[in-house]
Structure 1
């Protein structure tokens, strides 16, 4: 059954990272219940979710819902007459599979976004503190007389580039030198006016999404960061013909895990909120592009979101920005003589 379901999902071009956890979940529920899938009833499903809630810490609502969906997807596969599993179970065991989650016992989806509420954009002051800590790390490491100064210089450039172009960790890791390109409409930015993202987050069963992210003039400092990295620092890693933009001391491609570890070290040096992670830099880019006054559609395209509602989740504009919009709106309706202090 599991092998058949694995092939069924693989035929839809779902990734191994999607399929493998689903297979582990089925085995986990089999172990928890002591029953085979064709013996499961809603009682077993409810007991499993109740067990998740009793764990310390309890599983999140979104996790419980994803488990319910995945379990029902597996059972729907067994019930599909085209695969014959329901008939085989009835003939061999006198029992047939059934869906164990239904409208009355599954997690209700009440809101559009159920992500971690601690995840938020950096403030401008926090961005400055993060960058200052990143720039200070190479000299601090060299001052201790240990290796790692060159890697720290690379990490500082990576963190700044992720923010400037609003990248995900995986997108940054898989960027090649050839993906850093000139924007013909902004020749003053030189060769670093555009970033081609070829491995954007894919929808289920779809290939990676591609997009071009334009460097906005407010973040033109990133040109110097990338120029220094490409022309001066990267050659000192002796990467040879390796195509990756970000390379390691062992002449390999910088991994997502390494990017995350580098960010955590910099964040600790900056003494910033530990809930801020690498992805918060992407939230920050979306927020700051908006605050710079770029149209919503432009910001959506920059982020690579199919829907504007997704982009809105990333935004956490400041009170100052909202007050600026409020004043502009009131002046438009009441005239320039309107007094903000009134």
Structure 2
């Protein structure tokens, strides 16, 4: 890292395998064989597929629900689970008011689990092959206009003007999210030594433990430099190499980062957008509006598929259309 001042690079911590609690949580409610199968699958996700702890917990929640439902319907091992049971479970989830996106994710979790069980020889047939879920609602992500984005960072800068370390941290956080479009989990996992101030780049550990390098601009560099100058005032024995720290000195968590962004967005007063993903969407859309090519934006965001990035081209087209309708005399 080429950081400002005499600060020495801190050692990079290796990411720990995702932890799960399948056997501990399920042992009292499921047959041990089912609990063991779930635990083995979660371990496979964490150690062989490199899934994050957050992703593994989501699978655990989805599959715990499905297995408990199957047991209630009379299944005591994986081979006893059939398509009718899975459809009843998904129907109950729908009746409880879950969104289409959540139902689609839960069905996907079950399909992945049962496909794994078939490969491992734990079942003779995959009952989830024909498990269908409602299609996800297709909607464009919330995106800030340029003027809103400028007011967002100006508001954070105003709050940091008196030198409060937490406000200085929040400014650096908002500037960095808007500059890079990184996910909130990626931001929370950043270490001090992941920043290269000479090249103005950051090393990001993304989904599946895939590493990429993203650039950031001068405003973000200035905000980060200012934060690093006061970081020691929040640091504690629990800080380690973490770039962003909480009030008690530990690594800033994803929920805390979301709170920071939500407060900044509410202060705008003219948007219903919320959460750090708004800044990710905004960064991508503004890049495309400014002429960046789709492949470059894909690399910046860490998307595995170009089709995912193409969503932002639709956002740009919709913004262009809205501007046309509001300003062209013959629209």
TM-score (norm 1): 0.70
Q: Is 2:200 the partner of 1:193?
A: yes
| Correspondence 1:212-251 to 2 at 5 A | 212-215=213-216, 219-231=217-229, 233-238=230-235, 242-251=240-249
| Cα deviation, residue 154, structure 1 | 1.1
Stretches of structure 1 that go unaligned for 5 or more consecutive residues are: 87-97, 143-147, 183-190, 203-207, 325-339
The question of 1:122 aligning with 2:128 is answered no
In structure 2, do the counterparts of structure 1 residues 29 and 71 end up closer, same or farther at CA, with 3 Å as the change threshold?
farther
SS in 2 for 1:212: strand
Paired position in structure 2 for 1:107: 133
Residue 26 (structure 1) aligned with residue 66 (structure 2): yes
Q: Distance in 1 between the 2:235 and 2:39 partners?
A: 42
Alignment of 1:61-76 (within 5 A): 61-75=100-114
- TM-aligned CA distance change 1:81 to 1:256, over 3 Å: closer
Q: 2:172 & 2:126 partners in 1: Cα distance? A: 51
Taking the aligned partners of 1:192 and 1:234, their CA distance within structure 2 comes to 22
Contact 2:175 2:219 (8 Å CA) reproduced = no
Aligned pairs for 1:29-48 within 5 A: 29-30=69-70, 32-33=72-73, 35-37=75-77, 38-48=79-89
> CA 1:209–1:33 in 2, change beyond 3 Å: closer, same or farther?
same
2:193 alignment counterpart: 178
> 2:170 and 2:225 mapped to 1: Cα distance?
15
Structure 1 runs (4+) greater than 6 angstroms displaced: none
Q: Is the 8 A contact 1:192 1:226 kept in 2?
A: no
SS in structure 2 of the partner of residue 294 of structure 1 = coil
The verdict on how the C-alpha distance between 1:20 and 1:319 changes in structure 2, with shifts beyond 3 A counting, is closer
Shift in CA distance, 180/79, structure 1 to aligned 2, threshold 3 Å: closer
Q: Could you tell which deviates more after superposition, 153-162 or 30-39?
A: 30-39
Structure with bigger gyration radius: 1
The total of aligned residue pairs comes to 284
- 1:227 deviates by 2.0
Alpha-carbon displacement from aligned partner over 1:74-132 (angstroms, at most 9, x marks no partner): 4556666834x66xxxxxxxxxxx654554x62376xxxx3673632211122123223
In structure 1, the residue matched to 2:316 is 317
Q: CA deviation at 1:252?
A: 1.7
Normalised by the length of structure 2, the TM-score is: 0.72
Q: Counterparts in 2 of 1:1-342, with a 5 A limit?
A: 1-2=33-34, 3-11=36-44, 13-14=48-49, 15=51, 17-18=55-56, 19-30=59-70, 32-33=72-73, 35-37=75-77, 38-55=79-96, 58-75=97-114, 82-83=121-122, 99-101=126-128, 103=130, 106-107=132-133, 114=136, 117=139, 119-138=141-160, 149-182=164-197, 191=198, 193-197=200-204, 199-202=205-208, 208-215=209-216, 219-231=217-229, 233-238=230-235, 242-315=240-313, 316-317=315-316
